[in-house]
A and B are shown apart, each in its own frame.
Chain A
């Protein structure tokens, strides 16, 4: 997976120099899908297999049971650069275990992603200065290293990650984004006839 700056039609709040940090062969065109699926073994493999064989490019994927544990909610971020968005939704909808699928438009959705990172922290205060701007916290600190936790909008997380890099980013784990439709947003308009 890329270390990519998210920029594209979903609209980000990055300054020009921020979004120019990483150069990619092509600009990704990221779309977010939320799928409710039956919480059964093999369902994730079906979805991953579908993406692979249809040539759809998963950027990130997060999955966990819903409040009703017989279902899971999956947030899939897809690079649709060479793919028809509707094809992705329609092909996913054909999977028997997929209850419904909708596209979440960033303008009317709330997105979050969690990052855990092991960073160089000889100067712990400087690290704290960076992450506190993003509401992060230090979980562990020893021998000139710290483990920090930051939860934020993925674009802000990208920025935080870049700011931590000079300290030495020894281990980085991000969860991939999760998203919910905002309370005042209209219902999805993805071509699902369900």
Chain B
């Protein structure tokens, strides 16, 4: 069967199981947009190519399937570089197709030409420039294989216009042949045995649960391990929800804005069991002072993570779920006795940890009526007045941290955010992608006013495509996190951070985009507005929550500082905290 390259591309996407793609057409990708009309794949038309990329990411986050985006050459390709980099940093499976000028024009500075594969080389797991239409099925099959196996990531396919127009004899490859790509790694039994030995003898162990556990679909295995061994779990920003916040062993989020107990438990641990995390600087603070007394077990499917930041005592290269199951197998006694019988006495540690939890909970002070409305209160009310399995999507900044801190995540794949790259504007398009992937779920974006202004136009896409997401803007009229740093570290010299609460008029803007717009200015109005928003299911909703400009995110470990120097905030007694009754 003879197909054009364009038809072969769409056919190959169908063969790869693609159900939805996000994109925007243009000159060089025009040939491929013709067979889009005949394809069963749903295409969501975006208003800006960055939106297509973040939608694909949101879709991938909540479904576990690769997100797919397609845009044209030149400026469209450069517009999608940010989502590619975001997906690369957070290991999100994604396949992006870009149009390219005709082969004969490549290198001539043709209209809308850019060196897309050159530009994206550093932000993709792999990329391709297609030079022969006969290669299209093979390349698409390889792209999905690479994007979804091993450590997931984005793959880009750059497709010149003449290659789309040329014909090829259709085929679909039986498999992929990539001699240099070996994503499967067998778990080393000796490393598992050594890890089990460290777990048995540790007096102050902490499981450091990372986003890799979600990629490995390892939430249940993690829970079994934690419960069997009675080990506390911290869940990083990328791992929120992989272990239920309501679980008695859950300590919540560690890191720069982690809670006191999570930060301090890691800091004073004698064993860190890192499962699919990467010792990010937002978790470790100054790595030279991070968890100084801890031995480290590090499970990662990417062996290059071993020793990149912290040299592990026991590196385990491989799939986190397989590794955890192997650990459970080794740790479980044959005679049916409790696993903990064979372990060191941890009663002192457990009481120390619960003492911290009692003494240093996350806190804020919402005045009983009226102003100022606290952003944390808004997050708590959203949490309490939405379904238990609501998907929460955040942008980047203060609102992101408050969402992570004050939401209660009890299910995996209910939290979508930009962790590694920290992409402002992520929330609106990612929420749309998440809702497309899970139309059965309520999807709330908790956004900041600065973030919202970066990508809000995608709500037009959502209105047009009938994707009823809900957006709560924590509108503090500032680039709040930058303002917080300027207040704390730049002597309150506020440089270029004021945005105004009134401009734009978020309600009017929402309505202009086909959404329901609601404004909330006091605590009393919060719950009625949320209830009203939850009742809308035929269009997006935007709530403009006017929140306290002065509110800051605490606790906080100053950048580059030691996690021992955690600042609890105005209500907390930091000195007392630092003297906390830690075991030696």
Q: Which residues of A contact B (CB under 8 A)?
A: 37-38, 42, 45-46, 49, 53, 84, 86-87, 90-91, 93-100, 191, 193-194
Which residues from A are CB-within-8-Å of B182? 193-194
Q: Given A84-B307, A86-B307, A96–B181 Cβ distance below 8 Å?
A: yes
Which residues from B are CB-within-8-Å of A84? 307-308
Q: How far is the CA of A38 from the CA of B308 in the complex (A)?
A: 26
Q: Given A86-B307, A193-B303, A98–B121 Cβ distance below 8 Å?
A: no
Choose from A45, A86, A95, A100 the contact partner of B118 (Cβ within 8 Å). A45
For the complex, is B317 an interface residue (Cβ under 8 Å from A)?
Answer: yes
Q: How far is the CA of A90 from the CA of B304 in the complex (A)?
A: 5
Interface residues of B in 94-152 (CB under 8 A from A): 117-118, 121-122, 125-126, 129, 146
Q: How far is the CA of A97 from the CA of B180 in the complex (A)?
A: 6
Query: Are the CB atoms of B185 and A87 closer together than 8 Å?
Result: no
Known: A87-B307, A193-B185. 17 other contacts (CB 8 A): A37-B180, A42-B121, A46-B121, A49-B121, A53-B122, A84-B308, A87-B304, A87-B308, A90-B304, A90-B306, A96-B126, A96-B146, A98-B180, A99-B179, A100-B180, A193-B182, A194-B182
Residue of A nearest to B188 (CB): A193
Query: Are the CB atoms of B117 and A191 closer together than 8 Å?
Result: no
Q: How far is the CA of A99 from the CA of B179 in the complex (A)?
A: 6
Query: Are the CB atoms of A42 and B129 closer together than 8 Å?
Result: yes
How far, in Å, is A193 (CB) from chain B's closest CB?
Answer: 6
Number of interface residues of B (CB under 8 A): 21
Which residues from A are CB-within-8-Å of B185? 193
For the complex, is B576 an interface residue (Cβ under 8 Å from A)?
Answer: no
Q: Given A49-B121, A193-B185, A94–B304 Cβ distance below 8 Å?
A: yes
Which residues from B are CB-within-8-Å of A93? 304
Residue of A nearest to B146 (CB): A96
**CB 8 Å contact bits of B432-469 with A (1 = contact, 0 = none):** 00000000000000000000000000000000000000
Q: How far is the CA of A90 from the CA of B126 in the complex (A)?
A: 16
Q: How far is the CA of A98 from the CA of B126 in the complex (A)?
A: 12
Query: Are the CB atoms of B180 and A91 closer together than 8 Å?
Result: no
Q: Given A37-B180, A96-B180, A99-B180, A45–B304 Cβ distance below 8 Å?
A: no
Supply 26 A–B pairs (Cβ within 8 Å), ascending by A.
A37-B180, A38-B179, A38-B180, A42-B129, A45-B118, A46-B121, A49-B121, A49-B122, A84-B307, A84-B308, A87-B307, A87-B308, A90-B303, A90-B304, A90-B306, A91-B304, A94-B304, A95-B180, A96-B146, A96-B178, A98-B180, A100-B180, A191-B303, A193-B303, A193-B317, A194-B182
Minimum-distance CB pairs A-B, first 9: A90-B304, A99-B180, A96-B126, A96-B181, A98-B180, A91-B304, A49-B121, A53-B122, A99-B179
Q: How far is the CA of A90 from the CA of B301 in the complex (A)?
A: 12
Residue of B nearest to A101 (CB): B180
For the complex, is B302 an interface residue (Cβ under 8 Å from A)?
Answer: yes
Query: Are the CB atoms of A94 and B302 closer together than 8 Å?
Result: yes
Which residues from B are CB-within-8-Å of A45? 118, 121
Q: How far is the CA of A191 from the CA of B306 in the complex (A)?
A: 11
How far, in Å, is A45 (CB) from chain B's closest CB?
Answer: 7
Q: How far is the CA of A191 from the CA of B307 in the complex (A)?
A: 12
**CB 8 Å contact bits of B357-401 with A (1 = contact, 0 = none):** 000000000000000000000000000000000000000000000
**CB 8 Å contact bits of B399-434 with A (1 = contact, 0 = none):** 000000000000000000000000000000000000
Q: How far is the CA of A122 from the CA of B282 in the complex (A)?
A: 65
**CB 8 Å contact bits of B171-186 with A (1 = contact, 0 = none):** 0000000111110010
How far, in Å, is B306 (CB) from chain A's closest CB?
Answer: 8
Q: How far is the CA of A194 from the CA of B178 in the complex (A)?
A: 13
How far, in Å, is A145 (CB) from chain B's closest CB?
Answer: 38
Which residues from A are CB-within-8-Å of B303? 90, 191, 193
Query: Are the CB atoms of A42 and B180 closer together than 8 Å?
Result: no
How far, in Å, is B184 (CB) from chain A's closest CB?
Answer: 10
Which residues from A are CB-within-8-Å of B121? 42, 45-46, 49
Which residues from A are CB-within-8-Å of B317? 193
Which residues from A are CB-within-8-Å of B302? 94
Which residues from B are CB-within-8-Å of A193? 182, 185, 303, 317
Q: How far is the CA of A88 from the CA of B122 in the complex (A)?
A: 16
Which residues from B are CB-within-8-Å of A42? 117, 121, 129
How far, in Å, is A49 (CB) from chain B's closest CB?
Answer: 5
Q: How far is the CA of A84 from the CA of B310 in the complex (A)?
A: 12
Q: How far is the CA of A37 from the CA of B182 in the complex (A)?
A: 14
Which residues from A are CB-within-8-Å of B178? 96
Q: How far is the CA of A96 from the CA of B121 in the complex (A)?
A: 12
Please indicate which of the listed interface residues B125, B180, B303, B304 has the most CB atoms of chain A within 10 Å of its own CB. Answer: B180
How far, in Å, is B107 (CB) from chain A's closest CB?
Answer: 12
Q: How far is the CA of A169 from the CA of B198 in the complex (A)?
A: 62
Interface residues of B in 313-339 (CB under 8 A from A): 317
Which residues from A are CB-within-8-Å of B181? 96
Which residues from A are CB-within-8-Å of B179? 38, 99
Q: How far is the CA of A97 from the CA of B129 in the complex (A)?
A: 14
Q: How far is the CA of A42 from the CA of B179 in the complex (A)?
A: 17
Interface residues of B in 155-205 (CB under 8 A from A): 178-182, 185
Please indicate which of the listed interface residues A53, A90, A94, A191 has the most CB atoms of chain B within 10 Å of its own CB. Answer: A94
Q: How far is the CA of A98 from the CA of B308 in the complex (A)?
A: 20
How far, in Å, is A135 (CB) from chain B's closest CB?
Answer: 37
Which residues from A are CB-within-8-Å of B118? 45
How far, in Å, is B305 (CB) from chain A's closest CB?
Answer: 9
Residue of B nearest to A42 (CB): B117
Residue of A nearest to B128 (CB): A42
Q: How far is the CA of A191 from the CA of B125 in the complex (A)?
A: 21
Q: How far is the CA of A125 from the CA of B316 in the complex (A)?
A: 63
